[in-house]
Each structure stands twice: as structure tokens, then as C-alpha cells.
Amino acid sequence: MGRADVYSQPDAPDPMLPAELVRELAEAHLPTGVRLAGMAVDESGGEARVYLFDRADTDGGVAVKTQRPHRLRPRTSLAKEAVLLAALAGPLAGRIPAFYGYDAVDTTAGPIEFLVIGRVPGRAVVTGGLPESARSRLLRELADVLRAVHGLDAGELRSAGTLPTVDDAVALRARLEPNFADLVEHLVGRPDRWPLKVQPDRVAERALAALPTRLDAPPVPLHSNPGPTHVFTDEGGGFTGLIDFGDAYAAHPALDLRSWPDPADRILLREAYLDGQVANAEWDAVWTVAMIYADLGALTGPHPHAAPAAADLVERLGQL
């Protein structure tokens, strides 16, 4: 959790909901005739609990995503996720969760805010790994999805306050500064994790100072964390979908390319995203700062990509 994140009601109760109640809530939003079977619970998400159902009438499944009351924070919103999934249902059908409904209701179990969506098949990359032979193709498909997300006309969402927006260079620095501070806090005084002679706080200062003083590119909708936790694949590493738009916001598109811990993956994703286009100086400046941020993140704990992240960090610092 970053310094910008404050849970608004950390002591609120967080009961597991009865299966029949969750099924009843879900079926009210599903097409006529759809019936749910079984139920499993996924609590791996930080702010949400997800109730997973199979469909009794066909293959596939349904997920009921609930906001966990004690993890309620400003940047995460099921209502925002619902609006984005509905808006992206056409261009990204089959590559993001199908959207069935959203509601906030009072029940005998208390108030419940929930989202009813289709289950994306496969498993998260962070869980099952990724065959090297599938890596390049997967990142190309993810780049296609991100371009569609970034191309969404979200003006009404921004003006209504539904989609938090980083409007200019000052706001961009204000958003990144506390996140860099969190990483520095984890790295200061940890020589086992920090391989450079220059101290982490100086790296953060140099990175933030390298941000553009003006942004000409308009803010676009971002997923926020389209990395191994939220990208799903089949057994062979083929892309099956991108989940979890609850932390979405609008800002510079380069920020959405920093979520992969291996610098080589980030570079492949950048190349696929640009698709032969040449990035301008502004885009490259934001990209370089995002890469430094991601490299610092890979160094905050034992991580298989710590060594390449350290090497990439040295290279990026040389570009400042």
C-alpha cells in the first residue's frame, strides 16, 4: 500500500457471505436461465474478496467481486471498474471479464457492494509462470489490449470525478513522489538489497527531477497494474485476459508499461505498444522514470529479477 493509500474504515467487520446470498445477488444480474453451481472464494486480492462460481448451464464461470469494508480506499472502486468494463465490453470482448452488473444493497448480512463479472479462464502469470517461447506473443497481445484501454474516450468519466486524473506535470510528480518514497523506505539501510554506490533517495530525486515540466499528451485511461498478477494465460502461456480495473485512473500512457518486474519484459511491452512508432522526448522521459520506479520495486525484496533490474537501473540513471 502506498503512502497515498489510507483505508477509511480499517476496523470495519469483514464477514464471509453465505453462498446462497451471493448466488442470489449474482443471479439477479445474469441473463435469464443462467444458473450457478458450487462456490469457491479467492482472497488473494488486497481490497476485494471474490466469490467464484461455475455455470450449471454451460462452460465458464461467474465471479462476484465484493468490496472488503476494512480495505476501502479512495483509489479503488468497484463502481469505477463497472463503468470501465461496460465501456470496454465491445472493443475488448473476450479479453477482459464480461460485465453483468454492479450494485450496492442492504441485506440481512449488512450493506454489500458487489460486481458480477465473467471469470477469465486460465491463471495469473504470477501463479503459473510463463514459458519463454510464449513471452513475446503474450506481451504483444497485452499491448493491443492496453492501446484499446488508452484509446477509450473517458471524458465524461473524468469530468464526473469517476476516473481520477493526472492532468499535468505538477500532478504527475505529486502522484509519483509518495510512491518513490515508499520504495526508498524499503531500501535505505539494506545493503543486501542495494547494489549501487549512489543512495536510493538520490536515485528517487534524480528520477523525479527528470520528469517533463510540461505534458503535451492528454491523460488517457490506465489500467494501473497490467502485470503478472492481473494478466491471465492458458497452460501454454497464451493470453486469455486482463482483470481488475478497480485502481484505474487517467494519466500518461507510459505509466501503464511498468508493471513487469523483468526489465526485458517491459522493453518488449514498450516495443509492442509503440508498434513501430517513434516515441517523442516527453514519452521517453516518463517511460525512463517509470522504468526506474519498476527497477526500485524489484530491488525491495528477494526477487528473481533483482539482478537485471539493478543493471537496468544503472543504464537508466546514465540516461538522466
Phi, psi (degrees; rounded to nearest 5) at 68: -80, 120
Buried b (16+ CB within 10 A) or exposed e, 266-288: bebbbebbeeeeeeeebbebbbb
CA atoms within 13 A on the CB side of 80: 26
Positive/negative CA dihedral, 318, 291, 305, 129: negative
Cα–Cα distance for residue pair 234/217, rounded to 1 Å: 36
Which residues are CB-neighbours of 203 under 8 A, at least 6 positions away?
184, 196, 292, 296, 313, 317
CA atoms within 13 A on the CB side of 27: 17
Cα–Cα distance for residue pair 32/78, rounded to 1 Å: 24
The DSSP letter of residue 277 is P
Which one-letter amino acid corresponds to residue 132?
E
CATH numbers and ranges of domains, the chain:
19-118 (3.30.200.20), 123-319 (3.90.1200.10)
- Residue by residue, pLDDT tens for the chain (320 residues) are 344 566 556 666 677 889 999 999 999 999 988 888 888 998 876 778 899 999 877 778 999 999 876 566 666 789 999 999 999 999 999 999 999 999 998 887 788 899 999 999 999 999 988 889 999 999 999 999 999 999 998 887 777 778 999 999 999 999 999 999 999 999 998 888 898 999 999 999 999 999 999 999 899 999 999 999 999 999 999 999 999 999 999 999 999 999 999 999 999 999 999 999 999 999 999 999 999 999 999 999 878 899 999 999 999 999 88
pTM as predicted = 0.92
Q: How many residues does the chain have?
A: 320
Q: Angle of helix 281-298 relative to helix 306-319, nearest 10 degrees?
A: 150
* pLDDT at residue 192, as a whole number: 86
Residue 141 pairs with which residues in a beta bridge?
Answer: none
* pLDDT at residue 139, as a whole number: 98
240, 120 in Cβ contact below 8 A?
Answer: yes
CA atoms within 13 A on the CB side of 201: 3
Give the strand order in the sheet containing 36-42.
36-42, 48-55, 61-67, 110-118, 99-107
